[in-house]
Amino acid sequence: MSNDDDATKSKKQRWFPLESNPSLINKYIQKLGFDTSLYEFVDVFSTEDWAIDMIPQPVAAVLMLYPLTETQLKAPRDDTIAAKEMEDKVWFIKQRIGNACGTIGLLHALLNAPEPLRMFQDESWIKNFADDCPIPLSPTAKAEKLEGDAKIATLHDAATSSSENATSRGNIEDRVETHFIAVVCVDDKLYELDGRKDGPVYHGPTTQATLLKDACKVIKMFMERDPTEMRFTITALAPKQG
């Protein structure tokens, strides 16, 4: 979810916000064409070790939903934008549709997951979109393709109106103050992927085995900027159990 009026450009599209709900998200990504028989999103209840140890490993990607409060937005940051990596390593898309950050975060997570997990179902929406939007295509060009895609708008809308939602999706014009980002490991480097930014934000070395622990260190930085705020949720794309 995101208050993204400033990011909404040419067509000024606005979607209903996606809920940070693993059951809902897993059904949504299945419809996009991701095989959830091996990996699925699960809740991560804390950034502490006890919660990290509950999650099956290795994690393929991490999603965070956090509040875009004035305190958060005004906090000093020293983001290192990894512009060069967008050319041949990291899949990145700009967000220009209001409240689309849930879908943008999922695309960043799934399209930067380890290669074996990117064997999407033939003729599925995500397979076709990934083929049409390879890594070297500019983030803005990818965004333009997303804006012109009626099918993803329909799939996103269906997810936000699903009975799996714990809360009402409200009115399309409601102000939404929370925002999804993804944290991924590509070539043993940790990247924060936020469609509001100019490119991937580099956060140092990592491995697939330590991705969740290292991602939680990044998430703690967000929490420390706004210590009285409680609206943080974390989900991880983890090996399916049972």
Residues belonging to the active site: 101, 179
Whether the upstream peptide bond of residue 67 has omega within 30° of 0, thus cis, is no
Nearest 5°: CA angle at 183, between 187 and 74?
130
* CA separation for the pair 40, 38 (Å, rounded): 7
**In this structure, are strands 61-67 and 189-193 parallel, antiparallel, or unpaired?**
unpaired
Which secondary-structure segment (H or E) carries 106? helix 101-110
* CA separation for the pair 65, 96 (Å, rounded): 18
Sheet containing 61-67: which strands, arranged edge to edge?
A: 39-44, 233-239, 61-67, 178-186, 189-193, 201-205
Task: Give every CB contact of residue 106 below 8 A, 6+ residues apart in sequence.
Answer: 25, 28, 29, 32, 63, 182
Which secondary-structure segment (H or E) carries 128? helix 125-132
Least Cα distance to 128 among 112, 146, 116 occurs for 146
Which secondary-structure segment (H or E) carries 123? none
Full 3-state SS string of 22-79 = HHHHHHHHHHHCCCCCCEEEEEECCCCHHHHCCCCCCCCEEEEEEECCHHHHHCCCCC
